[in-house]
A = this chain, B = another copy of it.
């Protein structure tokens, strides 16, 4: 029986297969990709993918792990930087995100789909210890600012959801958006580069935005989102009469 090479196999072809797998998996998802698709994309024989990676699932795990690692690590560095302000962190984060998304437009949908398909497995792969949001410098910064009354109190998770939602959604919904707005890929990307500047501004507006304290005073999580100064918004008294 043959023994698999332990040291330094032809790094080139192994890498080529991995590259092909990354491409196909990321575009079609685990369930919809056939090992034959990967073989064809790589230009090598079907058997080679098992020769190098044992199984479709093992190969997938490697691809996914690398995706998550580069993803998480790039974030960590930014949000734990003690030299930047909160606002600067958000700017860098969003800019970084959008650049990455323009290069890999179907990465977010891929990750979200696969996390959804098997949350336990995938969440385990993300450095759980790495990303403890209580320990991140950005979280401490937020608390300081609230304590110093520089910004209204709010569960910072809301801000994170807004940042990621605003940044990622256009890419996730790209086929629909491009079709509706009749945009070429290039025009779409220009629009996204535009958002690179806009989203930080919008997020600042959101962060500074006072919240009226009318209804439910129940707290969710640990922060209380209600309570604040001027109720600039209530009923229809806002800026727009029909």
Contact = CB atoms under 8 A, between A and B. Distances in A.
A85 B239 CA distance: 9
9 closest Cβ pairs, A-B complex: A165-B169, A31-B32, A165-B165, A119-B175, A31-B31, A205-B209, A205-B205, A85-B240, A165-B166
A195 B216 CA distance: 12
Contacts of A169: 161, 164-165, 168-169
Contacts of A88: 236
Interface string A116-147: 11010001000000010100000001000100
A198 B161 CA distance: 12
Interface of A: 28-32, 82-88, 106, 109, 112-113, 115-117, 119, 123, 131, 133, 141, 145, 150-151, 155, 157-158, 161-162, 164-170, 172-173, 175-177, 179-181, 183, 187, 190-191, 194-195, 197-198, 200-202, 204-209, 211-212, 215-216, 218, 220-221, 225, 233, 236, 238-242
A135 to B, nearest CB: 12
A240 B145 contact: yes
Contact of A109 (B116, B155, B201): B116
Contacts of A109: 112-113, 116
A204 B211 CA distance: 12
Given A115-B176, A165-B167, 9 more contacts: A88-B236, A109-B116, A157-B177, A158-B198, A164-B173, A172-B172, A181-B221, A202-B206, A205-B209
A194 B225 contact: yes
A86 B240 contact: yes
A145 B167 CA distance: 26
A60 to B, nearest CB: 13
A161 B165 CA distance: 9
Given A112-B172, A169-B168, A197-B215, A221 B183 contact: yes
Contacts of A170: 161, 165
